[in-house]
Structure 1
Amino acid sequence: MATATSELRDEVADPTPVRALRRISVMAGPVDTGAQDGLLLRAARYVALAPLVYRVFAVPGALVGFLATTGGPGTAVVVAVAVCSLLLNLYGVRWMLRSAPFRPAAAVRLLTLDVVFTVAANLAVGLAVPPAAFEAAADVPGKHLLGAIALLTLAVGMPWGLALLAADVPLHGTMYFLSSGQWDFGIAVGRVGSMLGVLFTATGALILLGLGTRLALAYGIRNGMQAEQARQHRRIHDTVLQTLEAMSLPGAGPPEEQLAQLRRLARAQASELRRAIEADGMATNRPLGEKLASLATEMARDGLRAQVVIAELDAATLDEVRQIAIRDAVREAMRNTMKHSGTDHVVVRVEERDGGIAVITRDHGTGFSAENRPPGFGISESITARLAEVGGTATVESAPGNGTRVTLWVPC
C-alpha cells in the first residue's frame, strides 16, 4: 500500500486544496495508463466502506428491534425500507470493491441516490406508522441516515455531512407530524446528538486518512530511493568493480598480450554497461534460458567455462523482474567462482522446485569455510539481497576442498 512512484500528480502529493472526492479519485485511479492497480486504492476505499458495512448490520438490527417490540400498522413499509437499504448498501460495497479505477461521476450518482432514498425512507415510515410505534420505526431509516452522514463526510467533506445533519431536524419533525399530526420540536432535534457524534468521528477518520496517506507516500518514496541506491551500488559492484578486479589479477604471457586482454575486458565492460543503460525501463522478453546462455558466453570471454543445463520450462513461468534478478545473481556466483575457487569450470542447472524456479551453480574448486568467511558485498548484496527483493532466497553451501554450491530460488 505504501509503494509510491516518482510521477505523483499534484492532486495527491501537493498541499494545494482539492475537493475530497477529486482527491480520492486521483488516489484510487491508476498512476500510469498501463497500470490497473491504483495508488493507495485500498486506503481510499476501505474508509468509505465503513459506513456502508455499518448500515448492512445496523439497519437489520433496528428492524428486528422494531418487530420485537412494536410491529402492527406500517410494518410492511418499515420492512420494505430495511430491505431496500440493505440492497443499496450491498450494491455500494460491491461497487467499491469491484470498480476500478474510481469514477467520480458514478460516485456522485450513487451518493445522490443514497441521499434521496434516505429522505424518502424517513418520510415513508413517518407516514405509515402510528405515534405509538414511531420511535422504534424511525430508528430503521435513522440508522441509514447515520451512515449517510458519515458517507457524505468521508466522500465530499464535512460541510456536506453537516448540511445533511441540519436537514434532519425538519425531516425528523416532519416524520412525527405525518405520524401524529402534531409538531414537536423536542422530537425534531432528538437525533442531533448521535448524528454529531457520527459527524465528528467521520471527520476524524478523514483527517487520519490524510495523515496516513502522507506518511505512506513519504515511507514509499524513501524506500524507493533506498532500493534505487542499492540497485546502483550492485550495478557498480557487478560491472565496473568486477572488471577492475579482473584487470588487477596477475596475468601470464608477454606484456603486449596482457595489454590486448585488458583492452578486450574494457570494451566488453563498456558494451555491457551500455546495454544495461539502454535496457532500463524496457523488458527484453527473452526466456531465462537465453539470458543464462548469454551469461555463459560473457563469462567465457573472461576464462570461465560454464555448462548450462536447463529443464523444460514454460516461457511465461517467470516475469522479467525475477528473471533479471536470477541472471544477475548467477553472474555474481560465477564471478566468485572465477576469482576464488581456483577452477575454470562451473555447472549451472535450472529446474522447477517448490512452486518456483531454482538455479544451482556448482563448482569443484577450493571451497571455503562459512564460519571464517568475512561478510562481503558479493554474497550479501549481489546475491541474497537481490533475490529477497523479488521474494526469492539464496543458499550457499561450501567447505574447504569440496567446492561451492549456490542455490537460488524465486517463486513463479
Structure 2
Amino acid sequence: MGVTQPRRTGFLLTLLRRGAPAMATATSDLDDGIADPTPMSALRRMRGMAGPVDPSVQDNLLLRATRYVAMVPLLYRIVAVLGALGEFLAQSGGAGAPAVVVVAVLCVALNLFGLRWLLRTAPFHSDNVARLLLLDVVFTLVAYLVVAASVPASSFTSAMQVPGKELLGGIALLTLALGVQYGVGLLVVSLPLRMVAWWLSSGVFNVKQGFVDLGTMLGVALTATGALVLLGLGTRLALAYGIRNGRLAERARQHRALHDSVLQTLEILALPRKGDPADQLDELRGIARAQALEVRQMIEQAERESAEEAARPLGEKLTALAAEMAREGLRAQLVMAELDEETLDEVRQLAIRDAAREAMRNTLKHAGTDQVVVRVDEREGGIAVVIRDHGTGFDETHRPAGFGISESITARLAEAGGRARVESSPGSGTRVTLWMPR
C-alpha cells in the first residue's frame, strides 16, 4: 500500500484563494535559495517565494498574527464613514439626515466591535469568523438600501457616500480575510445594488448608476489584492531569511568547536619536532589523550543534558508544557500539590504530559476561551491531573469532530496503565481528568 503524499499547491495561489490566513502555511517547503544573498532577478526570487506549500500546515503563531491585517479596512471604514457623514450634513440641508446619521453610527459601532474582537486574547475559530463576516456583509447591503430609501434624489449622491465607504471597506476586508474571490463577489453584487438604490430614491431604474463607482471599487479590490500578495510574499521571504541565518549560525558554532578542539590538535601533531623520538611520541600521546578527554566531556555533557531533560519531574514537565501552550495562545494556570517526585516512572510521566497537551489543545480549538486551569494532586493511590476550562462546553452525546479523546488522550493513558475521564455540558465548560497509578 503506497503512502499518500501531502498535496502541494503554489503559495501565491493559496494566498489569493484563502486570504491572509494562508500565511500560516508559509513555513512549509521553504527553499534556502529564496533567501540567498547572491544577486538574482526579482522575478526569480518572487517565483521562489510563490513556490509550493503544504496547505495542511498551520503555524499557530502566524495564524494568530494574520488577524491584524483586517484592522486596516476596519480603521479605514471608521474614518471614511465619519468623513462622508460630515460632507453629507454640510451639503444636504437636513433632507434624510436622521436615517443617514443612524446608519453612520451603526457602521462606526460595528467596526469598533470588529476591532475589539480582533484585539481580544481568546482563540479564533473559522466558524465564528465566517459568521461575523457574513453579518458584516448583510449589514452593509441593508444599510445601503435603507439610506437610498430615506433620502431624496437631490441628496442621493452625497448620502450614498456613507454606506458606500462601508461597502468599499467590505470589499477590502473580504479580499484580505477570505480571498480575492470573495472581494470580487461583493463587488459584483454591488453593481445591481446601486441600481436598486437609485430606484428606491428616485423611482427610476437607472442602469448607468450601477457603474458610477465601478472604477473606485476595482481600485480598492486591486489595492487589497496587491497588499495581500506583498504581505504574504514578504512574510515568506522574512521566514526563509531567518531560517537560513539560524542554520548559518549553528554551522558557525560547530565550526568554532571543531577549530578550537580537533583542528588545533591535528595542527599541533603535524608540527615538526626535534629531540628524542621516544619523547616526541610521549608528547603526542599526551596531546591525543587530552583531546580525547575533551571530546568525551563534550559528548557526556550533551548526554547529561538530554538525560536531565527526560528525567525532569512531572511538575517541571507540566510547567514546560504550560509555556509551550502559551506560545500557541492558551494561558494555563498550573496548581501543583506537594508530590513525591518518585511516584511515577518516566513512561507514565510522559503519558500524562502528552495527554494533557492534547486536552489543552482541544480547549484551544473547541472551547472558545484562552484560559485553562491545570491542577495536579494525589488521588486514589495515584496522581491526578485535572484540566478545567470555562468555555462553551459540548453535549457529550454529540462530541465535536476532531475532539481527540479516544486515541490521543484515553489511549495514551491506557497504554501506561492509567485512565481518563471527560466531563462537559453546553455552556458549562469542560473538565478532563487524567489519572495514573503509582
TM-score, length of structure 2 as denominator length: 0.52
Shift of residue 58, structure 1, vs aligned partner: 0.4
Among candidates 255, 268, 272, match of residue 298 of structure 2: 272
CA distance in 1, matches of 2:185, 2:284: 84
Number of equivalent positions: 274
State the partner residue of 2:21: 25
Shift of residue 95, structure 1, vs aligned partner: 3.1
Instruction: Rate the CA distance shift 1:36–1:117 in 2: closer, same or farther, 3 A.
Output: same
CA contact (8 A) 2:26 2:236 kept: no
CA distance in 2, matches of 1:280, 1:77: 69
Instruction: Rate the CA distance shift 1:29–1:103 in 2: closer, same or farther, 3 A.
Output: farther
Deviation by residue 1:329-363 (Cα, 9 ceiling, x = unmatched): xxxxxxxxxxxxxxxxxxxxxxxxxxxxxxxxxxx
CA contact (8 A) 1:62 1:139 kept: yes
- Higher relative contact order (CA closer than 8 Å, sequence separation 6+): 2
CA distance in 2, matches of 1:49, 1:161: 16
Among candidates 66, 87, 112, match of residue 134 of structure 2: 112
Instruction: Rate the CA distance shift 1:88–1:96 in 2: closer, same or farther, 3 A.
Output: same
State the partner residue of 2:255: 233
Shift of residue 262, structure 1, vs aligned partner: 5.5
State the partner residue of 2:32: none
Q: Which amino acid aligns with 2:14?
A: V
State the partner residue of 1:205: 227
CA contact (8 A) 1:63 1:140 kept: yes
Shift of residue 143, structure 1, vs aligned partner: 0.1
Q: Which is further off, 277-286 or 257-266?
A: 277-286
CA distance in 2, matches of 1:171, 1:77: 18
SS for the counterpart of 1:218 is helix
Among candidates 163, 169, 174, match of residue 152 of structure 1: 174
Shift of residue 232, structure 1, vs aligned partner: 1.6
Shift of residue 124, structure 1, vs aligned partner: 1.1
Deviation by residue 1:217-260 (Cα, 9 ceiling, x = unmatched): 3322321221221222233345545676899999xxx9879957
SS for the counterpart of 1:226 is helix
CA contact (8 A) 1:21 1:155 kept: no
Q: After the TM superposition, which residues 291-310 of structure 1 pair with which residues of structure 2 at under 5 Å, given as runs?
A: none
Deviation by residue 1:367-406 (Cα, 9 ceiling, x = unmatched): xxxxxxxxxxxxxxxxxxxxxxxxxxxxxxxxxxxxxxxx
CA distance in 2, matches of 1:259, 1:248: 13
CA distance in 2, matches of 1:23, 1:153: 6
CA distance in 1, matches of 2:92, 2:247: 63
CA contact (8 A) 2:176 2:225 kept: yes
Among candidates 189, 192, 196, match of residue 214 of structure 2: 192
Q: After the TM superposition, which residues 96-111 of structure 1 pair with which residues of structure 2 at under 5 Å, given as runs?
A: 96-99=118-121, 103-111=125-133
CA distance in 1, matches of 2:230, 2:97: 41
Identity across aligned pairs (percent)? 47
Answering whether residue 101 of structure 2 is matched by residue 69 of structure 1, we say no
State the partner residue of 2:205: 183
CA contact (8 A) 1:31 1:38 kept: no
Shift of residue 17, structure 1, vs aligned partner: 4.9
CA contact (8 A) 2:23 2:232 kept: no
CA distance in 1, matches of 2:230, 2:265: 51
CA distance in 2, matches of 1:133, 1:158: 33
CA contact (8 A) 1:169 1:188 kept: yes
Shift of residue 84, structure 1, vs aligned partner: 1.6
Answering whether residue 105 of structure 2 is matched by residue 83 of structure 1, we say yes
CA distance in 1, matches of 2:26, 2:309: 21
Q: After the TM superposition, which residues 251-330 of structure 1 pair with which residues of structure 2 at under 5 Å, given as runs?
A: 263=289, 266-276=292-302, 279=305
CA distance in 2, matches of 1:225, 1:195: 45
CA contact (8 A) 1:81 1:121 kept: yes
SS for the counterpart of 2:61 is coil
Instruction: Rate the CA distance shift 1:238–1:52 in 2: closer, same or farther, 3 A.
Output: farther
Among candidates 115, 118, 123, match of residue 93 of structure 1: 115
State the partner residue of 2:61: 38
Q: Which amino acid aligns with 2:293?
A: R
Q: After the TM superposition, which residues 320-399 of structure 1 pair with which residues of structure 2 at under 5 Å, given as runs?
A: none
State the partner residue of 1:54: 76
Q: Which is further off, 50-59 or 86-95?
A: 86-95
TM-score, length of structure 1 as denominator length: 0.55
State the partner residue of 1:217: 239
CA distance in 1, matches of 2:131, 2:171: 16
CA distance in 1, matches of 2:212, 2:14: 35
CA distance in 2, matches of 1:11, 1:41: 24
CA contact (8 A) 2:26 2:235 kept: no
CA distance in 1, matches of 2:265, 2:67: 51
Shift of residue 24, structure 1, vs aligned partner: 3.5
Q: Which amino acid aligns with 1:162?
A: V
Q: Which amino acid aligns with 2:298?
A: E
Shift of residue 70, structure 1, vs aligned partner: 1.1
CA distance in 1, matches of 2:303, 2:261: 12
Question: Which of 1 and 2 has greater Rg?
Answer: 1
State the partner residue of 1:362: none
CA contact (8 A) 2:19 2:177 kept: no
